[in-house]
């Protein structure tokens, strides 16, 4: 049966084609208006689960008012009038014809529990999508004083939501989503970011002893592939307990195929020869950028899952947990990097006056960007 809503029916005046949940809400409300005792079959459904504000107001009225005597309810509309009166202050567009339409639309009042489950499933989808949007927004907000902590806090919120949803929706076979995932969010590199990577490479070459404690930083965290391979070269020397200086880094880089016509040995040595600050400081900044970029990718994946109507609630839960696992792996490295460690004993007096890790040292002249990108 087709229903043409009145112009003033709030969110019942749908511009686009209604989603499946719209019809589930109509069917459920029709069942409850027809047989109010069916309300007991809808637990744990609450008004917040409804997509339509008007439907939520009507459901609240049904839950609030005492159920009528079934025999009396079959003969008159007194209870329906009371429900309408209770709901209209919160949804002015409601009217008696729409209530009668809901009753006529409902296929089977005894299926109220199934309609409620559809509504709860759609609400789970909307909740997850909202959390993913907040995660993406926070990870890209340059004005936050501590974006990493804020981002990880929102990731924890998503984890708690998934735990809650897993208690509400039973698992089933074939629970992995088949949604085609979007590509990783591109990482934009400005010159300041690349300068920080160059400074890390130079300070790591100058102070290799500290690199031994920086296993929390990997080549995947770098923006520029050249810098990633140079970091591999430096860490390989350190972990083999070999001598580390610009010349030995050059030798290791040569074995890794870094030298080209556009990147000469002199260029490469210049790239790792101007230290400033400490390796830990620059490493933490690089890792933080990687953490925020990973959070954006996780948010995009969860959003893709929620946008795919073919996914069941359990598939949403399973896919979202897998996405979060990628972020949690990076979180573990971030925690290692930012956990205060005892002051090293016997640190060279030449570094006694260097700025602390919490303060950025001034940038020093480095290899020109046009050469470093090649």
Looking at the structure, do residues 280 and 362 belong to the same domain, yes or no? yes
| Average of per-residue pLDDT across 64-71 | 95
Mean pLDDT score of the chain: 88
Is it the case that residue 73 has pLDDT exceeding 60?
yes
Contact (Cβ atoms closer than 8 angstroms) between residue 105 and residue 35: no
Can you give the pLDDT at residue 362? 44
- The answer to whether the Cα torsion of 127, 130, 136, 137 is positive or negative is negative
Within a domain: residue 115? no
Q: Which of 295, 277, 106 is nearest to 207 (CA)?
A: 277
Looking at the structure, do residues 206 and 248 belong to the same domain, yes or no? yes
What is the CATH classification number for the domain harbouring 85?
1.10.860
Model confidence band, residue 353 (pLDDT cutoffs 50, 70, 90) = very low
- The answer to whether the Cα torsion of 297, 302, 305, 308 is positive or negative is negative
Contact (Cβ atoms closer than 8 angstroms) between residue 151 and residue 185: no
Looking at the structure, do residues 284 and 294 belong to the same domain, yes or no? no
Looking at the structure, do residues 141 and 37 belong to the same domain, yes or no? no
Contact (Cβ atoms closer than 8 angstroms) between residue 114 and residue 43: no
Domain boundaries, position 195: 191-288+350-372
Contact (Cβ atoms closer than 8 angstroms) between residue 51 and residue 122: yes
Q: How far apart are CA 282 and CA 295, in angstroms?
A: 20
Within a domain: residue 222? yes
Can you give the pLDDT at residue 55? 97
Can you give the pLDDT at residue 186? 73
Length of the chain: 374
Q: How far apart are CA 219 and CA 231, in angstroms?
A: 6
| Side-chain half-sphere CA neighbours of 261 within 13 A | 0
Within a domain: residue 3? no
DSSP class of 176 = S
Looking at the structure, do residues 127 and 221 belong to the same domain, yes or no? no
Within a domain: residue 82? yes
Looking at the structure, do residues 147 and 165 belong to the same domain, yes or no? yes
């Amino acid at each position: 049966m087709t229903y043409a809503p009145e112009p003033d029916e709030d969110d019942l005046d749908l511009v686009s084609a209604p989603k499946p949940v719209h019809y589930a809400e109509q069917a459920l409300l029709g069942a409850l208006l027809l047989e109010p005792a069916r309300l007991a079959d809808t637990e744990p459904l609450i008004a917040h689960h409804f997509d339509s504000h008007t439907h939520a107001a009507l459901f609240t009225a049904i839950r609030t008012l005492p159920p009528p005597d079934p025999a009396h309810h079959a003969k008159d509309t007194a209870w329906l009038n009371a429900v309408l009166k209770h709901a209209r202050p919160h949804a002015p567009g409601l009217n008696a014809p729409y209530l009668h339409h809901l009753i006529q639309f409902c296929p089977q009042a005894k299926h109220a529990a199934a309609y409620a489950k559809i509504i709860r499933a759609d609400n789970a989808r909307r909740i997850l999508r909202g959390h993913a949007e907040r995660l993406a927004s926070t990870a890209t907000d340059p004005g936050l004083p501590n974006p990493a902590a804020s981002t990880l806090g929102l990731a924890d919120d998503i984890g708690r939501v998934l735990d809650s949803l897993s208690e509400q929706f039973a698992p089933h076979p074939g629970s992995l989503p088949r949604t085609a995932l979007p590509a990783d969010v591109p990482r934009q590199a400005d010159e300041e970011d690349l300068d920080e990577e160059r400074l890390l490479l130079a300070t790591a070459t100058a102070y290799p002893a500290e690199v031994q404690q920086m296993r929390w930083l990997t080549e995947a965290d770098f923006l520029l592939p050249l810098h990633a391979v140079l970091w591999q070269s430096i860490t390989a020397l350190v972990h083999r307990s070999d001598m580390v200086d610009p010349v030995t880094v050059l030798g290791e880089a040569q074995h890794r195929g870094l030298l080209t016509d556009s990147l000469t040995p002199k260029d490469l040595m210049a790239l790792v020869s101007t230290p400033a600050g400490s390796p830990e400081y620059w490493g933490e900044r690089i890792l933080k950028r990687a953490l925020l970029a990973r959070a954006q990718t996780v948010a995009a994946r969860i959003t893709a899952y929620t946008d795919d109507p073919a996914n069941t609630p359990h598939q949403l839960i399973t896919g979202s947990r897998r996405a979060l696992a990628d972020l949690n792996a990076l979180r573990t490295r971030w925690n290692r990097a930012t956990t205060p460690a005892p002051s090293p004993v016997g640190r060279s007096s030449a570094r006694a006056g260097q700025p602390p890790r919490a303060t950025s040292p001034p940038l020093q002249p480095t290899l020109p960007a046009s050469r470093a990108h090649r």
